[in-house]
Amino acid sequence: MITRTIALLLTGLGLGAGARVSAAQVDPGGRKIDIGGYALHLRCVGSGAPTVVFEAGAGSWSVNYVHLQDAVARTTRACTYDRAGLGLSDPGPLPRTSVPMADELYALLERAGEAGPFVLVGHSLGGYNVRVFASRHPESVAGVVLLESAHEEQFQRLSPEVAAVIAEAVPQFRAMADMARAGRPPQEPIPEVPAFAAHPELREVYASVTRRPEFYEASAAEMEGAPTSAAQAGASAALGDLPLVVVTAGRSFAIFEGLGIPLDAANAVWLELQSELLDLSTDATQLVAPDATHQIDWDAPELAIDAVLRVVRAARRGTRMAAAPSAGGAGHQLLEHWDRYLETINAKALDRLMEFFSADAILMPPSQPAVYGVDGARAWFGALFAEFDVELAMPTLELMLLGDRAVRRGTYEVSLTPNAEGPRSVDRGKFIQVWERQGEGVWRIVRGMLNSDLPTIETVGRE
Residues 229 and 125: beta-carbon distance below 8 Å? yes
Q: What is the pLDDT of residues 127-144, one digit of tens each?
A: 999 999 999 999 999 999
What are the tens digits of pLDDT across the range 286-307? 888 888 999 999 999 999 999 9
Half-sphere exposure in the Cβ direction for 127 (13 Å, CA): 30
> What's the pLDDT band for 210 if we cut at 50, 70, 90?
confident
Amino acid at the residue 312? V
**H helix count then E strand count, the chain:** 16, 16
Asked if residue 388 has pLDDT above 90, the reply is: yes
Nearest to 182 by CA among 143, 216, 150, 213: 213
Q: What is the mean pLDDT of the chain?
A: 87
Residue 230 contacts by C-beta under 8 Å, 6 or more apart in sequence?
128, 150, 151, 152, 153, 154, 155
Q: How confident is the model at residue 457 (pLDDT cuts 50, 70, 90)?
A: very low
pLDDT value at position 259? 83
Residue 342 in 3-state DSSP? helix
pLDDT at 4: 47
CB 455 within 8 A of CB 432: no
Of the two residues 265 and 337, the one the predictor is more confident about is 265
| Structure confidence at residue 355 as a pLDDT band (50, 70, 90) | very high
Q: What is the pLDDT of residues 21-33, one digit of tens each?
A: 444 444 556 899 9
User: For 258-264, what is the mean pLDDT?
Assistant: 87
Do the bridges between strand 141-147 and strand 240-249 make them parallel or antiparallel, or are there none, so unpaired?
A: parallel
Specify the pLDDT at position 460.
Answer: 43
Query: Domains along the chain?
Result: 4-317 (3.40.50.1820), 330-460 (3.10.450.50)
**Which has more pLDDT, 410 or 95?**
95
**Cα 22 from Cα 224, distance rounded (Å):** 29
In SS3 terms, 278-332 reads as: HHHEEEEEEEEECCCCCCHHHHCHHHHHHHHHHHHHHHHHCCCCCCCCCCCCHHH
Q: Which residues pair with 52 in a beta bridge?
A: 78, 119
Q: Which residue has the higher pLDDT, 411 or 232?
A: 232
The reported pLDDT for the residue numbered 1 is: 52
How buried is 394 (Cβ within 10 angstroms: 0-12 exposed, 13-18 middle, 19+ buried)?
Answer: middle
Q: What's the pLDDT score for residue 157?
A: 93
Higher pLDDT, 163 or 329: 163
Q: What is the mean pLDDT of residues 216-239?
A: 96
Average pLDDT over residues 338-356: 90
**Burial class of residue 318 (count of CB atoms within 10 Å of its CB; 0-12, 13-18, 19+):** exposed
Calpha distance 230→233 (Å, rounded): 5
Q: What is the pLDDT of residues 173-193, one digit of tens each?
A: 999 999 999 988 877 678 889
Instruction: Please compute the mean of the pLDDT values over residues 343-361 and round it to a whole number.
Output: 92
CA distance 327 to 440: 10
Lowest-confidence pick of 112-121, 272-281, 329-338, 347-356: 329-338
**For residues 344, 348, 351 and 352, what is the CA-based torsion angle, rounded to 10 degrees?**
-10
The pLDDT score that the predictor gives to residue 458 is 47
Higher pLDDT among residues 107 and 323, named by residue: 107
Judge whether 366 and 451 are in contact, CB under 8 Å: yes
The Cα–Cα gap between 213 and 234 comes to 31
Amino acid letter, 288: V
Indicate the pLDDT class of residue 44, thresholds 50, 70 and 90. very high
The more confident residue out of 386 and 459 is 386
Which pLDDT belongs to residue 456? 55
Q: Is the confidence at residue 396, as pLDDT, over 50?
A: yes
| CA atoms within a 13 Å half-sphere pointing along the CA-CB vector of 429 | 19
Residue 462 has a pLDDT of: 39
For the entire predicted model, the pTM comes to 0.76
Residue 11 has pLDDT above 50, yes or no: no
- pLDDT band (50, 70, 90) for residue 401: confident
Q: Is the pLDDT of residue 352 over 80?
A: yes
Is residue 462 packed enough to be buried (19+ CB in 10 Å), middle (13-18) or exposed (0-12)? exposed
17 pLDDT more than 60: no
> Given a cut of 60, is residue 7 above it in pLDDT?
no
Cα 335 to Cα 240, 268, 319, 436, distances in angstroms: 29, 10, 30, 14
Weakest-pLDDT range from 86-95, 246-255, 326-335, 359-368? 326-335
Do residues 427 and 454 lie in contact, with contact meaning Cβ atoms separated by under 8 Å? yes
Rounded distance between C-alpha atoms, residue 123 and residue 160, angstroms: 23
Distances (CA, A) of 220 to 3, 6, 168, 299, 339: 13, 10, 10, 25, 39
Residue pair 441/424 in contact by the 8 Å Cβ criterion: no
Q: How far is CA 67 from CA 9, 62, 437, in A?
A: 23, 10, 36
Position 317 scores a pLDDT of 86
- Per-residue pLDDT of 370-385, as tens digits, reads 999 999 999 999 999 9
pLDDT of 323 reads 47
Residue type, 394: M
Residue 216 has pLDDT above 70, yes or no: yes
Burial of 228 (0-12, 13-18, 19+ CB in 10 A): middle
User: Which DSSP symbol is given to 70?
Assistant: H
Dihedral angle sign, alpha carbons of residues 70, 72, 73, 74? positive
Does 195 have pLDDT greater than 70? yes
Q: What is the pLDDT of residues 84-94, one digit of tens each?
A: 999 999 999 99
